[in-house]
Structure 1
Amino acid sequence: MSVRHVSGTQLARLLGELPQERPFYAALARAVRGLVLNGRLPLRVRLPAERDLAAALGISRTTVTAAYDRLRDEGYVESRQGAGSWTALPRAERPAARQAVTRFGIAHTADGGWPHEEPVDLGCAAPAAPAVFDDAVAEAVAELPRHAAGPGYEPAGLVELREAVAARYTELGAPTRPDQIMVTTGAQQAISLLTQTLLDPGDAVLVERPTYPHALDAVRRRGARLVPVGVTGGWDLDLLAGSMRQAAVRMAYTIPDFQNPTGHLLDDAGRTALIEAARAADAFLVVDETFAELAHDPAAPRPRPVAAHDTGGRVISIGSASKLLWGGLRIGWIRATAPLVRRLAMARESVDIAGPVLEQLITWRLMPRIEDVRAERAATLTRNRDALVAALRELLPEWEFTVPDGGMTLWARLGAPVATSVAEAAWRHGVRVTPGPVFGVDGVLEDCLRLPYVLDPRTLRTAVERLARACHEAETAPIARPLPAYV
């Protein structure tokens, strides 16, 4: 298998416009170090030869040599005579084996205690039920007796719900038959079923960095190899395609719709390029559309589903009711070819036989109301997002972020690799927040935090006030022992 590498042209594009400070080699080294720390340049990737990067940047080879030397001294590059240089992390920054953490991404406070203030949960990105929920529940309960006469086991899901989901895909530009839909117990089961069915131990799986942590867990449980590609600044499709080919990936897992956690949205041209990259690598393309219906302007033009650009059955789509409709409605689905759906349904029978009938009926009754729910979510999330943005700009102006046009999360860059320290300090101040490394591989993303904005503006303001105190505490605290990694 080929060693993963990045060309001089690709690295120059990732670096962008370098600061014109002197000495220039130090600025170049700092920029490359930043790419490693924020995950845009993966670890253990071979760097371009010094002359190739010099040519791509239009600078002297001596300058690149000095930058590589500094990176080697700092531990961000490792080299072997005659074999080239690879990206790395300094040994002191590599995650140690550590204790279990809570579902919010951090453990107890350093002294084993808990904060005295009523905690604000910024570790959870899930909304309360919409206004139309009660009506849908009443209608579903009225429908339940019609199903009670049978066994209630439908491994692929209730026909009514499969028809409704297929109709929604067709409406959005991806013609779909009901036999191409399988209903699952949430999107997480969908991801687990796909990894168990399509992957063998040792297979390579391309993942975005940052990405949904439980997808990483599912791939790890299967014994597959993670191949991360950074998307902090958006998708570099040329780099992504090269990574697919070089690592000979079997599957790529992507979140092109208001990506979790960055909020980025991939356009139609990018979606076509993504499919071409998967086709060139002969890989399955698993597309997580959990946030796809959560545009903050529901009337704005939206890209078509990735499956609408696919003509070869390579795209497998995952959807969920939990973000748009309600977090407690544990209903998801897979859109794939009919033969793969049948195969997945058979695999599912050894796990939980079938999904809950009542929850499927509730989701089915909510589907005709989806535009009303989208409008309600858009109004609430836009209000909350704007409140969070205003509080951050006032109280933590040094933090950087892109204001998302959809989804439920804001990805904040702190300017220093202190995210885990800030998260632990925040918990002592009564805020649960998830640090960047939870969403990545190899311990990078320590300069980022994910901040959901599903809570009301007043609560979000309180959370940011506590985060500001926690950030000050983390910045002024002495250097602590290495912190445990997310497992």
Structure 2
Amino acid sequence: MTLAPDAHRQLSPAATMRLLGTWHAGGPAYTALADALRAAVLAGTIAPLTRLPSERELAPVLGVSRTTTAAAYRRLRDLGFAASRVGSGTVTLLPRLAEAPAGGDVAVPDAAGTLGDPLARGAAHPAAPSGVVHPVLLNQATAPAAPEVGPAFERALAALPEHLAYGGYAPYGIAPLREAVAARYRERGVPTTPDQVLVTTGAQNAISLVVRSVLGRRETAVVQSPTYFHALDTLREVGGRVVGVPTGYDGLDVELLASTVRRTRARMLFLIPDHHNPTGTSLTPAERVAVRELAERTGVTVLADETLTDLALSGSPDANPPFAGDGTSPHLITVGSTSKSFWGGLRIGWVRAHPDVVARLVRTRQSTDIATAVMEQLVAAELIGRRDEILPGRLAWFRERRDTLVAALRQALPWDVPVPDGGQFVWAGLGGPLAHAFAAAAAAEGVMLNAGPTFTPDGSSQDRVRLTFPHSPDLLEIVVPRLVRAWDRIR
């Protein structure tokens, strides 16, 4: 038995139950529990070096016998995802490489300790070497860089010397990029000047900056449910109370949204107006008008995440009117990014808001992030300026992968698999509250995906899972048989 290392944190039985959700949908209970715990470790929901509750404490909370929890912990240890010793309990581990024991494959990180795409690393097959199943990350919406990104870096390097004579700190962002972002808004019909633009280190940094500036402790933020889970994390980290309004393929109930904002006296409203994560839907023109009018009536600050706006896979990229309308409302703040349109490795985002709001955000950012790297800003400015040349090929790339995954899922599984109009996700319906159990079973088959409740503030969407499709068609075809095996396991 591997001796347990010192734990950095400890989970209570109640917290463990909450993180696992509906974990048992059939089959041996100990196997399902071990799979759910292993999936949580691989997904980062339960961090490595976390002390789990004792077998005796966890059993009654989950409604199983102590024999079941003991067998589940033993399986975790056999798979290399936990270690135990007397007096220290059972501590979670993230193995660098694990051989599959008798009774099942194991999803493991690669030799570098990362959970990468094996085909992208040049592996001949995701199941090689024998006895090891490399995980496929359908829980990450990351795509390779657009072909134009590399040459843009070369040209940016040539332009860099004129910036080297200065200190390198540009708290608002460098002038060429702020103008490029402002020009993009103007092209979409939103009058914008560079003093309304703040460059950030990625969209998540922009969201965090706005939330910290606007939302106080115990103040309420209303969100679409489901929504982007890192936004949920940020809202909770500042001590905000998060209330969800259901959204789906039948649109956003703006009357319910308005009553929720009024009833809770919400300070902030977070929305994804275009190609929503995870459903891929967009707000209609009437819904956009209704939200803007709500902001004017109530004074609620609306933070709109437009990171996915460019990724229109059905119809024109500019088919939807800009969320900000004419851009004059001080209550509307939008954030954007180069991560989905061009490459996530650039880590360039921005905020578009009233100049007074931008100035306040600059003061707020000084405590954590003084400025954004100049080189990457030069690259982003060029890519945004050449957006009309780059995006058609980029969208065709995404569209091919969307169609491949949707067709394969529809053929192999009895799910509700809608075709998203944009974005990078398939929000699949399982027909019952099986999301956590299926995510755990899929992890055991070497596929990481997100259970629906991850995207909600209240644990709903238990009948949905999110799968990302920016992967090679060969890899997507290999994934589906694993998902079928996982489905058979919980059925």
Fold shared per TM-score above 0.5:
yes
- Corresponding residue for residue 457 of structure 1: 473
Q: Quote the Cα distance in structure 2 between the aligned partners of 1:93 and 1:146.
A: 54
Q: Quote the Cα distance in structure 2 between the aligned partners of 1:441 and 1:343.
A: 28
2:459 to 436, 443, 447: 443
Confirm whether residue 474 of structure 1 aligns to residue 478 of structure 2: no
2:237 to 214, 218, 221: 221
- Corresponding residue for residue 404 of structure 2: 387
SS at match of 1:262: coil
Confirm whether residue 190 of structure 1 aligns to residue 206 of structure 2: yes
Comparing 369-378 with 177-186, greater Cα deviation is found at 369-378
Q: Is the 8 A contact 1:105 1:123 kept in 2?
A: no
Per the TM alignment, residue 271 of structure 1 is displaced from its structure 2 partner at its CA by: 0.6
2:260 to 238, 243, 248: 243
- Corresponding residue for residue 341 of structure 1: 358
- Corresponding residue for residue 4 of structure 1: none
Cα gap change, 1:190 to 1:159, in 2 (>3 Å): same
Confirm whether residue 402 of structure 1 aligns to residue 418 of structure 2: yes
SS at match of 1:231: strand
Deviations 1:375-412 (A, max 9, x none): 1121111111111111111111x211321111111101
- Corresponding residue for residue 323 of structure 1: 340
Q: Is the 8 A contact 1:431 1:466 kept in 2?
A: yes
Confirm whether residue 287 of structure 1 aligns to residue 281 of structure 2: no
Q: Is the 8 A contact 2:196 2:354 kept in 1?
A: yes
Q: Is the 8 A contact 1:412 1:449 kept in 2?
A: yes
1:95 to 18, 27, 48: 18
Per the TM alignment, residue 301 of structure 1 is displaced from its structure 2 partner at its CA by: 5.1
Q: Quote the Cα distance in structure 1 between the aligned partners of 2:202 and 2:167.
A: 22
The number of residues matched between the two structures is: 384
Q: TM-score, normalised by structure 1?
A: 0.75
Q: Quote the Cα distance in structure 1 between the aligned partners of 2:302 and 2:389.
A: 31
Confirm whether residue 125 of structure 1 aligns to residue 48 of structure 2: no
- Corresponding residue for residue 257 of structure 1: 274
1:409 partner amino acid: F
1:199 to 199, 209, 215: 215
State the identity as a percent.
42
SS at match of 2:248: coil
Q: Is the 8 A contact 2:192 2:327 kept in 1?
A: no
What does 1:160-175 align with in structure 2 at a 5 Å threshold? 160-175=176-191
Deviations 1:239-287 (A, max 9, x none): 1111111111011000010000000011222111111122232201100
Q: Quote the Cα distance in structure 1 between the aligned partners of 2:47 and 2:133.
A: 17
- Corresponding residue for residue 170 of structure 2: 154
1:368 to 385, 391, 398: 385
For the aligned residues, what is the CA RMSD? 2.2
Per the TM alignment, residue 297 of structure 1 is displaced from its structure 2 partner at its CA by: 4.3
- Unmatched 5+ residue regions in structure 1? 1-90, 476-487
Q: Quote the Cα distance in structure 2 between the aligned partners of 1:427 and 1:149.
A: 51
SS at match of 1:328: helix
Q: Quote the Cα distance in structure 2 between the aligned partners of 1:262 and 1:97.
A: 23
Deviations 1:154-202 (A, max 9, x none): 1111111000000000000101000000000011111111111111101
Q: Is the 8 A contact 2:20 2:436 kept in 1?
A: no
- Corresponding residue for residue 26 of structure 2: none
- Unmatched 5+ residue regions in structure 2? 1-13, 22-36, 49-71, 80-105, 108-131
Deviations 1:314-353 (A, max 9, x none): 1100001111110111010000000110111111111121
Q: Quote the Cα distance in structure 1 between the aligned partners of 2:259 and 2:365.
A: 34
Per the TM alignment, residue 312 of structure 1 is displaced from its structure 2 partner at its CA by: 2.5
Cα gap change, 1:446 to 1:118, in 2 (>3 Å): same
Q: Quote the Cα distance in structure 2 between the aligned partners of 1:244 and 1:238.
A: 10
Per the TM alignment, residue 455 of structure 1 is displaced from its structure 2 partner at its CA by: 0.6
What does 1:425-440 align with in structure 2 at a 5 Å threshold? 425-440=441-456
- Corresponding residue for residue 323 of structure 2: 306
Q: Is the 8 A contact 2:271 2:303 kept in 1?
A: yes
Per the TM alignment, residue 107 of structure 1 is displaced from its structure 2 partner at its CA by: 7.8
1:276 partner amino acid: E
Deviations 1:394-435 (A, max 9, x none): 111x21132111111110110111111111111111111111
Q: Quote the Cα distance in structure 2 between the aligned partners of 1:300 and 1:232.
A: 21
Q: Is the 8 A contact 1:298 1:375 kept in 2?
A: no
Q: TM-score, normalised by structure 2?
A: 0.75
What does 1:36-47 align with in structure 2 at a 5 Å threshold? none
Deviations 1:181-237 (A, max 9, x none): 000001111111111111110111001111111101111011111011111232111
- Corresponding residue for residue 97 of structure 2: none
- Corresponding residue for residue 351 of structure 1: 368
